Amino acid sequence: MTFPGKFTDSFVADSLSKVSLSFLVDGLEIRRGGNGANIAFGMAVLGLEPILVVSVGKDWEDYRSWLSRHGVNTDHVYNCEHLYTASFMVTTDQELNQIASFFPGAMSAAREIEIAPIVEKTGKFDLMIVSPDDPQGMVRHSDELRQLGIPFAADPSQQMAVMSGEDIKRLIVGAKFLFLNEYELALTLQKTGWSDQELFDQVEVRITTLGEKGSRIEEHGKEPIYVPAPVEKQKVDPTGIGDCYRSGFIAGLSWGLSYERCAQIGSMLATYCIETMGTQEYRFTANEFCERFGQAYGEEARGEIAGKLISKLG
């Protein structure tokens, strides 16, 4: 939903202990979403063949058809036929601030999903992203991935608010990659009691998104890499841009590119997302993506991704 004003105009500084607000919105869009599905969709758009591992409800079939048609493997989705699929409801104001509510629904069954049987059927995963899901399921899956020796990326994101410090620790320890934004980084330190260095020591690579400033990639023994964000044509909707960043970053990993290039691809895909209403409605050809990528990051960068992307998308 879109609110044609500013949320902050309705907040009274001395009355925030009791808030009862209603916003008259002037737009309603019903879109497909979900962190895991968004990330998988973005990877598929870039020519990868991601396997989606989530729990869904009785209203899943239309979404399944959409994702399958766009290249996402949905064969290992866990269907809870007596529940509805999780839903996220968000209102965005004219400054792109957001107020949201989340209904978990079938998501709570994610803790029942076992990774090992899926690996037996598909082959060992190159990398698994533990993105926002049922908190117990997230912790359980990271435990299982460590036992199976499968590299994983910890992406706690929106679930940081409800997870305890101990659960956050269990999720993060041993991750190959850790994705956070600036606020989530601060919240992680607060909840775990770790220092910044102690947190960094738990993972191989830490990627922190910095909003319009881009992102920072930290790897042990090396200087941090700062990657600026491309200039967007317009800011339409920020929902899903973090998921797109992860999709692009992982696509770059699959192509054997440097972390800097991975972050640039992620930033470019996120830019397409913010220019579009909805999290899976952006479109481009390989040549269009490469042209904008070159404008943002130079011809050398463009040359490094062009062959990879064109071979995948034609």
For the annotated catalytic residues, the residue numbers are 243
Q: Measuring CA to CA, how many Å separate 44 from each of 108, 309, 312?
A: 26, 12, 10
In sequence order, what are the residues at sequence separation of 6 or more whose Cβ sits closer than 8 angstroms to the Cβ of residue 63? 32, 37, 56, 85
Q: Is 169 within 8 Å of 139 (Cβ atoms)?
A: no
Q: Is 277 within 8 Å of 237 (Cβ atoms)?
A: yes
Token duo for residue 81: 């036929």
In sequence order, what are the residues at sequence separation of 6 or more whose Cβ sits closer than 8 angstroms to the Cβ of residue 219? 204, 205, 225, 259
> Burial of 27 by CB count in 10 Å (0-12 exposed, 13-18 middle, 19+ buried)?
exposed
For residue 108, count other CB atoms closer than 10 A to its CB.
17
Token duo for residue 67: 């994702």
